[in-house]
Amino acid sequence: MVNKVNGLLGITAKSGNIISGTEVVLEAISKKKVYLVIVATDSSEKTIKNIKYFCDKENVEMIVYGNIFDNSKAIGKRNRAIIGICDINLADAIKKEIHGGVEFGKN
């Protein structure tokens, strides 16, 4: 599963449909340009809580997944704890893969 998710993150980055960094992602959330936010598991508790608040406010799904090193490597950046996915189809594919190959919320 990890390899598929990282592969999808790489494809998303290459297609230019990914943003990273706290301030950039928060701005994109407020402009409704993000469909999924991925927060690394080793992010600070305060960061996770802050991002969750903004995601809940704007009705954007947030997933705590992977660590900073692996997530950053997958998108070709360094030291990125927050990743925003700006393409709905790629966001759905990543969500499906993280949730075990079953579309989240579907039977």
Find the CATH number of the domain harbouring 24: 3.30.1330.30
Strand segments (E) across the chain? 18-20, 36-39, 61-64, 82-85
Q: For residue 41, tell me if it sits in a domain.
A: yes
| Cβ–Cβ under 8 Å, residues 90 and 8 | yes
- The reported pTM is 0.89
Which residue type occupies 88? I
Report whether pLDDT(105) > 60.
no
- What does the pLDDT look like over 16-57, one tens digit per residue? 999 999 999 999 999 999 999 999 999 999 999 999 999 999
Domain count, the chain: 1
Q: For residue 9, tell me if it sits in a domain.
A: yes
Q: For residue 21, tell me if it sits in a domain.
A: yes
The H or E element spanning position 29 is helix 22-30
pLDDT at residue number 62? 96
Q: For residue 103, tell me if it sits in a domain.
A: no
- What does the pLDDT look like over 70-104, one tens digit per residue? 999 999 999 999 999 999 999 999 999 988 865 55
Residue given tokens 């991925």 in the structure block: 38
Q: For residue 104, tell me if it sits in a domain.
A: no
Max Cα–Cα distance, the chain, nearest Å: 37
Q: For residue 24, tell me if it sits in a domain.
A: yes
Give the structural domain span for 23: 2-98
Q: For residue 23, tell me if it sits in a domain.
A: yes
Cβ within 8 Å of residue 88, ≥6 positions away:
35
Which residue type occupies 40? A
Q: For residue 107, tell me if it sits in a domain.
A: no
